[in-house]
A and B are shown apart, each in its own frame.
Chain A
Amino acid sequence: MNEILTQEKSIYIQIKEMIEQDILRDILLEEERVPSTNELARLYAINPATAAKGVNLLVDEGILYKKRGIGMFVAEGAREKIRARRKKNFYQDYVKSLLAEAGSLGITKKELIEMIAEDREYDE
């Protein structure tokens, strides 16, 4: 929730991703109220309609839900849902670009696999 907004991406996308990140990091727990669009607007000095656009994307995905008259809440199973979606997109979002860069540098698939296999920081 306390990241700096950048110019590189649409603000509402950044709002959405920040809330997701906070759910993954147990900053926002399931069945807990999330900051209202007005609170987000105040925190980042952005228009509340922009904040609402990001929040509503999460409602559409079933990650947040609205309790009438009280506010937005983190849905049960939200954490798993975000992880599942990010996993599903991992190939498209990360592996593809990794391969493209490796290709342009002439790194072979074999070399790439060796690099990953030898990395000590990533151990399951």
Chain B
Amino acid sequence: MMSKLTAKGISKVYNGKEVLHEVDLELESGKIYGLIGRNGAGKTTLLSMLTAQNPVTRGSVTLDGKPMWENPEALEGVCFSRELNPVSPNGANTMKVKEYLRVAATFLPHWDREMAQRLAGEFGLDVGKRISKLSKGMMSMVTIVVALASKARFTFLDEPAAGLDVVAREKFYRILMEEYLDTGRTFVVSTHIIEEASDIFEEVIILDKGKLLLKENTQELLERSYHVSGHTEEVERAVSGKKVYHEETMGRSRGVTLLLQPGEELRPGYDVSIQHPSLQKLFVALCGEEAD
């Protein structure tokens, strides 16, 4: 069944500071979304509001038209597995891993106990250990186990790859993909490790300084993004009239990044190099400007 999680104009103000500004977002069932943004862009705030763990200041979040806030019927469809860290305020740190999983099970109506055990085994997690005694990578594994075993239709993972070594990250992507293929659940994964994850995201959501910059099919986004370089004057002629997102100049040489709009084309016949940037390079071009 097609299902939709919809955020309309959601904003969040903490202590007079707006950390999220009028975000409109529609998440469809059966997709894997990547959420990327710089530190402080509002990713965790957005995820916690989409799952009604945190009230919106303005706007609304609905699942198939039903308001999410304090609505058990809608809430059972979502799981937000929060990032754990040694100073987590929610008392999780004093718990052993198996206690944490037991608590998770009581909150998550579709909890798959067998899957949780199997994944803990696959990641080599010592479930008798206290959360506070785990390494950063091990904490990430706990949040991954909770997210996957929740069996929620809309599952949100906040920085699951943080602290994992490259072998564990590959394992995570593989397990995520297997679960996705088996069940068609929707996943939203925030990450800073853009390059290696970009292939598994059907759509990418970019958040910049509390605003939704874009939400788009990953491949289509990459296909319409260009990096044009060459002699400064020639580059200027080649891209004149187009919106340039980032430019770098060195002597007479210049490189610019642009996103073509539908129907827009790069004019041929200029002596310039034309490349497609990777998602990571594009992200840096779009969001890399230092805050003023």
Contact = CB atoms under 8 A, between A and B. Distances in A.
Contact of A2 (B255, B278, B281): B255
Contacts of B277: 4
A2 B231 contact: no
- Which of A6, A22, A27, A28 has the most B CB atoms < 10 Å from its CB? A27
Nearest to A6: B275
Interface stretch (B75-83, B205-213, B244-252): B244-252
A50 interface: no
Interface residues of B, number: 20
B17 to A, nearest CB: 33
Contact of A26 (B231, B248, B250, B278): B231
Contact of B251 (A1, A6, A21, A121): A1
B253 A1 contact: yes
B254 interface: yes
A35 B275 contact: no
Interface residues of A, number: 14
Contact of B229 (A3, A26, A35): A3
Nearest to B281: A4
B160 interface: no
A25 B231 contact: yes
A28 B253 CA distance: 9
B230 A27 contact: yes
B273 interface: yes
A43 interface: yes
B234 interface: yes
Contacts of B250: 1-2, 35, 43
28 contacts: A1-B251, A1-B253, A1-B255, A2-B229, A2-B230, A2-B249, A2-B253, A2-B254, A3-B255, A3-B273, A4-B227, A4-B229, A4-B255, A4-B277, A4-B278, A4-B281, A6-B275, A21-B273, A22-B253, A25-B271, A26-B231, A27-B231, A27-B253, A28-B251, A28-B252, A35-B250, A35-B251, A43-B250
Interface of B: 227, 229-231, 234, 248-255, 268, 271, 273, 275, 277-278, 281
Given A4-B277, A25-B234, A26-B231, 10 more contacts: A1-B229, A1-B251, A1-B253, A2-B229, A2-B230, A3-B227, A3-B255, A3-B273, A4-B281, A22-B253
